Structure 1
Amino acid sequence: MNQHGEAWKKDFPILDQQVNGEPLVYLDSAATSQKPTQVLEAVDTYYQTANANVHRGVHTLAERATAQYEAAREKVQQFIHAKETAEILFTRGTTTSLNWVAKSYGEANVQEGDEIVISYMEHHSNIVPWQQLAKKTKASLKYIELTADGQLDLDSAAKQITARTKIVALTHVSNVLGSINPIAELTRMAHAVGAVIVVDGAQAVPHMAVDVQQLDADFYAFSGHKMLGPTGIGVLYGKRTLLEQMEPVEYGGEMIDFVHEQDSTWTELPWKFEAGTPNIAGAIGLGAAIDYLTKAGVENIHAYEQELAAYLLPKLQNIPGLTLYGPIDAAELTGVVTFNLEGVHPHDLATALDMQGVAVRAGHHCAQPLMQYLQVSSTVRASFYLYNTKADADCLVEALIAAKEFFNHGTI
């Protein structure tokens, strides 16, 4: 399986460089993934051969661009197993997708006294929109607690989700703990009380097979840049019945049917939500990323990441003074490993690792309620993807040991 990592790594030119005189070991894919040559070339080819606005022109380049843009939508639909392309909306990213749901569906369906249920492991993008909705509608915002090993507490979920609950918004995979949540089971809980479920899939879609119909998710959001695609492109999946009821969040060109002097009507799904010139190149790049992930096999990627986690975790546990957060069973994780080293601030540790060529993320990871729940101010996160190897894991361990020695004794 490790051969796969080495083979995949060759497709990512950015990884073939040195940082601070050391070979780059990139372990920050949970923040943004690197892009394979195939994606870079797809975007470049679009700009060189098909650059034009979509849906509006009848000339050759416009038709070519439109065909490629809509082909990308079809790839997304097939990749997450949506029923139809009308249920796939292109957005700027997960944050935009979640805000659209809170603004359009939320404001139309949540009233004073209703409940919105989230969890302590949510990214700020899946907290702040619901805070604002709760304030605006005078609804109650409730949190599902976590188990001692950093997983969603289903007993707590059963208590928090009640007959007054209108929206349950949860991450599929924690961006800090790497925990994989049982979304299908949580969907059943939500639907049993008549609530809809909104899923933040930003950390799931890049790393594991996702079937929105099997999950029975009402809304599912994710970003292109975390799954080998360009920045500035994202997806909101929504069930057709819900999307048809919702009003657009943005207005302007492309999303209209007809504009009268005092009123306008909207075009059909999915375009009624996509006002203005879309990120055409981003969508085409996302389509190329999906081609790459499909060829690699998301099941293979998930298994490989779990193999890397199973290899790394025991080595980290053997470092005195290192505290791990989240599950320590590789079968319950994606490629995210979060930790702190006793006596060393996470930012200092990340800087020391960077001096050895190892790129990790330090801070609160846009999850401050989780940090408070864990009773820490910040942590260090190493996040692996298909292009990482066991050699990269060894480099992380060696760099941590060297950094520990430096902070304790002033030498490396």
Structure 2
Amino acid sequence: MENSIEIPKEYLETVKNIKTLKKVLWINSHKKNFSEISDALEIKEEEIKDAEERLKRFAPYLIKAFPETKSTNGIIESPLIEIPKMKSRAEEDIKEKIYGKLYIKCDNQLPIAGSIKARGGIYEVLKRAEDLALKNGLIKKDDDYSKFYSDEFKNFFSDYTIQVGSTGNLGLSIGIMSAQLGFKVKVHMSADAKQWKKELLRSKGVNVVEYSSDYSKAVEEGRKLSNEDPKSMFIDDENSKDLFLGYAVGAFRLREQLKKMNIPVDRDHPLFVYLPCGVGGGPGGIAYGLKLIYKDNAHLFFAEPTHSPAMLLGLITGLHNQISVKDFGLDNKTEADGLAVGRPSGLVGKIMDPILDGEFTVEDNQLYRFLAALAEEEKIYLEPSALAGFPGPALISKEYGEEYLKNSTHICWATGGSLVPDNIMKGYYEKGKLLNNRRK
């Protein structure tokens, strides 16, 4: 198929490097000024605010079902932390100076699921539960939603099944939330999924279906099996607007954090955000929300493994979900399990095409090096895929220059890590430490 794929002339060299597993930085020539696209944007701010209100309605339930959310009044949110020591280590690794301040958005600490998927995944499950409860007269929107924490509701939901295909973290968020509500749950896990994630799900009463093939096959099979059962609902990471909206709420929450920390975002203080990307729903939703809020003052970049740059190839060719990394001879094998996606979301790719500033790719060894450095310098422990954005600030500083970036804010979005078992995290750290020592 590759020979029949038309590559724009300006991207021929980039695609050549992608095919030989070289790291690339791609600047999106399709990006438009916000004023040119604002009227055509399909998802409106009101829809994101509606999603935010739904999460607020469920806060009393979440406090009861997950006591760890009590300190945030049932709101699932993570801290934003400046990491100056890590900034120095990133400069050292990339051998480029970073202009501006560097922060980490700690979605690795999100309660319940320990990853960014606690945003979209949990939101869509709660929306499905609310829709069913409203339709069947179990609740009204102005009721106290702690009612969901009852045998009556659990018994009701036990007649229904929720299914999803996942490389790991989305399955964790949907599995944990659905099982807690009382749903039967089937998580279709690709070969890339870590064993500890499967075991954790099973310990919560989730039916884990394992596949020897990749993410796309797990989604395809899960969707097919779900369609055969009238009481089964499939949460489709490739095409779900509800997942997208759940993630987009994170952008509005970040705006409040930046205000509280007196961090301005305007023409003289641009914001740069670096988001690890798998199928695209999580980074896409957050990027979209930030673009609505900050318009041309927000610069948004996705990061993908050199072996699995599905979204990047979809954007370069304009073919989105019609192509796979395997069409370019890539094996889609990476230690970054959450990013091991061969075919991107068509829904997200088309939305991102005029919005995204660019993408870059990272090698697995680079993920481990940054993992160890972050642990040593800032005492923050992430899983490998969550480090994908960390080369971004140095790469972009070289690209954009000191004059534009001197008052900028860089945010690396840490997508997961707090649920990783200690012995496995120790192994990650030791591997990264060894790789860093070899470079000295």
TM-score for both structures, normalised by structure 2: 0.34
Higher Cα radius of gyration: 1
Identify, as 1 or 2, the structure richer in helix: 2
Give the TM-score taking structure 1 as reference length: 0.36
